[in-house]
Amino acid sequence: MSESDAVDPEEIETLPPTLGPSTVTPLGSSYLLEQVIGSGASGRVWQGKRRSDGRPVAVKVLRAEFSEDPIAVTRFLRQRTVLKGLDHPHLVPVMDVVAEGDVLAIVMDLVDGEDLRQVLNARTLRPDQHLAVLGQAAGALAAVHAADVTHRDIKPENILITRRGVEPHALLTDFGLAGIADAATLTRMSQVLGTPAYVAPEMVSGRPVGPPADVYAIGVTLYEALAGRRPFVASNHHALMRAHIEDEPERPASFSDDIWELVRSCLDKDPDARPTAGTVAERALELARQSSARPAPVPPPPPPEPVSEPEPVAVRRPTFEPSSARAPAEMTSEGVAQGAQETTGATRPAPQEPPPPTPQKKRRWLLVGAIAACALLGTGGGIWMQQSQDEAAPTVGPSTRPNASPHNYFLPVTATSVAPGTVQLKFSDGSALPGFSGYLIYRGPTFLRKTEPGAEPVAVVKLVEPSTRYCWTVAALLMTEHPPPLPKAKPSCLVANGRAQTS
């Protein structure tokens, strides 16, 4: 492949779900296809239903090249029983495998949720939750590998995220390449199938492909979820493939020794040196438990009346890299940046350098490489808040006065549920307040994220448990010596069922 080769996105990357034609298309005698909801390396995914009872289904219709290849068809039919027999709590069940005429299709449960790519873009999960959902996906992979099946297309788009209670629940999906692709088939088609950002070195170089290739892709996804960027990014597919074969990933400064050892081992160039999917699952879930067991920050309820400034206390910096409040730019699914080498898309820019330390008499903050928390006004003498692991504490810019300190100025807010599991917050514009540095979003006692100073006074929060009533508050973060008097702002409470308004 030359660097100038044109690549049809339909053949390589997974496209975001889009509505397809409104006409109903029959699939054999048992299913009706209603609309296209996704497209990827091995074919298109349709939303449809079963004729007999109207049950909603997702149908992966494979590309015509496979149905025209006798060996691919034979492998597909051989894998039919195996795919239908796969059973794991973190797998989307395969209901049926269809081979009629020139059509090969895999019928699966239709899952109501978001894929991991959407979740990474929305930044709604904590680092320990990223470890947990990818540990769950690795556990599902272990079950797939135990059935002597290699998935071959692990990536965020093929990991669906639903909710079981308040915690995210991962479901591995899309076995389009698992049942049909072998080295000989791919050679005849002159294709490297899979998504370029996640393909293992052995897939690029044409060597035998097995379960270690899936582990490599899980490693790329782990790196991306925890660091906010992928280990390898290039301006074209040729350079990206070469990076998978030749380049070593750079260790992010925020990775602990244990996390880096897990991710690095998954990304080993030697397939035999990578851990099994089962080992990855056990280690990722253990690291998630360790991370979530750390002392949680004291949450700030909105204060009804102004109170005096509390004495600061020492806190620990979150383990993981801070995320940026900037809206993410676009990144193609294969990992090629649009118009630049730098990582974009579902990424977090590198953290800013911390400001110079304050004089000794002011140094009551615990410094662990960067300022990690901010003081705020609270009820009954004040509350100290540590930023959650998803966000960096606000840093003091060069123009901030040396004696300025952070204050939370809670704003009137109205919450509405625009769809099941989704809440829209509209609040007063605080940009004219002294020392305005962005908005802080809270769900009950939990700090969710900070916006950039130029953000509009509106926020959308997804993946909210749709049957639980939550109260929402928004504060303007002010870096100033003289904060204004606090307004009497009340929380906005509702159930995120797609119909509820503020109560």
- Give the whole-angstrom CA distance, residue 97 versus residue 4: 38
Are the CB atoms for 172 and 147 separated by under 8 Å?
Answer: no
Are the CB atoms for 455 and 437 separated by under 8 Å?
Answer: no
Q: How many helices (H) and strands (E) does the chain have?
A: 11, 19
Tokens 């135990």 sit on residue: 146
Query: Is 60 annotated as belonging to a binding site?
Result: yes
Check 96, 128, 153, 390 and give the catalytic one.
153
In sequence order, what are the residues at sequence separation of 6 or more whose Cβ sits closer than 8 angstroms to the Cβ of residue 439?
A: 411, 427, 430, 450, 451, 455, 457, 459, 474, 475, 476, 477
CA–centroid distance for 193 within its chain: 23
Are the CB atoms for 368 and 320 separated by under 8 Å?
Answer: no
- Give the whole-angstrom CA distance, residue 123 versus residue 132: 15
CB atoms within 10 A of CB 161: 26
- Provide the 3-class DSSP secondary structure of residue 431: coil
Annotated catalytic residue 153: yes
- Give the whole-angstrom CA distance, residue 28 versus residue 96: 12
Q: Which of these, 268, 264, 194, lies nearest to 14 by C-alpha position? A: 194
Annotated binding residues for ATP, as ranges? Answer: 60
Positions marked active-site: 153
Annotated binding residues, as ranges? Answer: 60
